[in-house]
């Protein structure tokens, strides 16, 4: 392989998605590699937010039903835009809530302990918020999380084996909640296989798509996933705290939401003000409260780019970027103590690179001082996410050269090996 900067330039010249970079606000003389935590602002997202503010200015309360994007239907409108990105029917997707509130909603709806089927199956590598929610849901139903939350162990501390997950699908499991992509190692789980095996055993299964949506293609309907939930501010660039999303397989339509509220209602019945809920007949039933309109607005612009470009091309470039970064790291940084923890199999690798080093916190601080924005994960992890819509191969090349200089010259030693308040 050619490890020169000229080779990076050649790859950029061949990039069919290169024009989308101009759509984003990119800091001059900086390289942003933290899109797996918070995606950058696009001009389309900015304009969509300004348009929603204008509709508030022009229409006041009539903005709920007037203007280009009436607020009353915006959750459903954006659900239709998200549907092809997750491989679902339009009515199966809704933009609502946040990752954790949506998980609470879905577990409240689908966790139905009966007889000896009382346990929830998760994994020991999952993001803490999901575990907190599952523990909370068990306690709400009077179960001890220590006994009733089963967590599949990792053999290497970085990845999970599907066969171990399947082996844990015992006859006392009522519900399974797993990540589609592991937030540290970036491993992709075989969702189709796991859903098939869960259903053989009469177990409902759902997935957290926070680190997969917008980075890899999904076929939630075809894979017969029961439910899924996610945030929209990472790869989908919806902005800090952007309203989240959820998927419910149409097989389950008609099931009453576990947490009912104002916006669980069927649209034509909502303003009848009855004290008996008539739930929506699609994924809209799993909304709870009034939608956060201004937190949804940027998605109008952002999702338009994803549906223009197509997840196939986005995934193809993402794999090229991460593969190129891996090759450069192996070539340039051998002997400097950085351990690559991603699966090398392209079918198993998500949209970011994960490195470990005992001095990871101070290495991240040194990278930031040089204009490279990484992501630190305690206790010793460095995540680097070259994003298909706005990062270039030249940026990947430059970032690795900067990292090499930091390691060779031990520049990181001038910083404290301690994370910031937000890492």
H or E segment to which residue 190 belongs = none
CB of 238 closer than 8 Å to CB of 210: no
Between helix 5-13 and helix 393-408 the angle, nearest 10°, is 160
User: How far apart are alpha carbons 106 and 97 in whole angstroms?
Assistant: 12
**Is 130 labelled as part of a ligand binding site?**
yes
User: How far apart are alpha carbons 270 and 276 in whole angstroms?
Assistant: 10
CB of 204 closer than 8 Å to CB of 110: yes
- Strand 93-95 and strand 245-248: the pairing is antiparallel
**Is 343 labelled as part of a ligand binding site?**
no
**Is 208 labelled as part of a ligand binding site?**
yes
**Is 262 labelled as part of a ligand binding site?**
yes
- Strand 375-377 and strand 339-340: the pairing is unpaired
User: How far apart are alpha carbons 126 and 159 in whole angstroms?
Assistant: 10
Measure Cα distances from 352 to 18, 246, 273, 291, 298 in Å. Answer: 19, 23, 48, 31, 23
**Is 290 labelled as part of a ligand binding site?**
yes
Those residues whose C-beta lies under 8 Å from the C-beta of residue 106, and which sit 6 or more positions away, are 206, 227, 229, 246, 248, 258, 286
CB of 210 closer than 8 Å to CB of 234: yes
- Report helix, strand or coil for 208: strand
CB of 254 closer than 8 Å to CB of 235: no
**Is 127 labelled as part of a ligand binding site?**
yes
Tokens of 287: 């909304």
3-state helix, strand, coil in the chain (%, to 5): 45, 15, 40
First to last CA, the chain: 34
Those residues whose C-beta lies under 8 Å from the C-beta of residue 22, and which sit 6 or more positions away, are none
**Is 405 labelled as part of a ligand binding site?**
no
User: How far apart are alpha carbons 286 and 102 in whole angstroms?
Assistant: 8
CB of 113 closer than 8 Å to CB of 127: no
How many other C-beta atoms can be found within 10 angstroms of the C-beta atom of residue 378?
A: 10
User: How far apart are alpha carbons 132 and 415 in whole angstroms?
Assistant: 33
**Is 128 labelled as part of a ligand binding site?**
yes
State the sign of the Cα–Cα–Cα–Cα dihedral 267, 268, 273, 277.
negative
Q: Which residues are annotated as a binding site for pyridoxal 5'-phosphate?
A: 99-100, 127-130, 208, 211, 233, 262, 290
Q: Which residues are annotated as a binding site?
A: 99-100, 127-130, 208, 211, 233, 262, 290
């Amino acid at each position: 392989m050619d490890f020169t900067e000229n080779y990076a330039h050649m790859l950029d010249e061949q990039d069919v998605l290169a024009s989308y970079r101009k759509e984003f606000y990119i800091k001059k003389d900086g390289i942003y590699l933290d899109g797996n935590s918070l995606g950058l602002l696009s001009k389309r997202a900015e304009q969509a937010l300004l348009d929603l503010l204008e509709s508030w200015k022009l229409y006041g309360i009539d903005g709920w039903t007037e203007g280009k994007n009436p607020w009353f239907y915006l959750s459903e409108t954006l659900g239709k835009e998200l549907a092809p990105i997750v491989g679902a029917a339009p009515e199966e997707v809704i933009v609502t809530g946040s990752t954790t509130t949506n998980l609470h909603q879905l577990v409240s709806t689908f966790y139905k302990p009966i007889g000896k089927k009382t346990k929830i199956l998760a994994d020991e590598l999952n993001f803490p918020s999901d575990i907190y929610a599952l523990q909370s849901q068990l306690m709400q139903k009077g179960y001890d999380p220590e006994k009733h939350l089963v967590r599949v162990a990792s053999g290497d501390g970085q990845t999970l084996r599907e066969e171990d997950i399947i082996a844990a699908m015992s006859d006392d499991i009522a519900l399974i909640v797993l990540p589609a992509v592991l937030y540290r190692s970036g491993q992709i789980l075989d969702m189709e296989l796991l859903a098939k095996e869960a259903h053989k055993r009469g177990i409902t299964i759902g997935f957290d798509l926070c680190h997969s949506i917008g980075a890899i293609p999904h076929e939630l309907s075809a894979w017969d996933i029961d439910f899924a939930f996610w945030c929209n501010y990472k790869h989908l660039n919806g902005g800090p705290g952007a309203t989240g999303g959820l998927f419910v397989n149409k097989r389950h339509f008609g099931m009453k939401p576990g947490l009912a509220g104002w916006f669980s209602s069927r649209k034509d019945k909502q303003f009848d003000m009855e004290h008996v809920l008539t739930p929506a007949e699609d994924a809209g039933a799993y909304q709870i409260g009034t939608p956060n309109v201004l937190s949804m607005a940027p998605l109008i612009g952002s999702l338009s780019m994803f549906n223009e470009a197509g997840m196939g091309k986005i995934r193809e470039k993402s794999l090229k970027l991460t593969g190129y970064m891996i090759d450069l790291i192996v070539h340039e940084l051998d002997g400097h103590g950085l351990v690559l923890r991603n699966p090398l199999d392209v079918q198993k690798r998500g949209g970011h690179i994960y490195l470990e080093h005992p001095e990871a916190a101070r290495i991240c601080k040194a990278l930031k001082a040089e204009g490279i924005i990484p992501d630190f994960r305690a206790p010793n992890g460095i995540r680097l996410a070259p994003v298909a819509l706005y990062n270039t191969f030249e940026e990947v090349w430059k970032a690795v050269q900067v990292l090499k200089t930091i390691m060779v010259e031990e520049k990181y030693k001038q910083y404290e090996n301690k994370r910031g308040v937000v890492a």
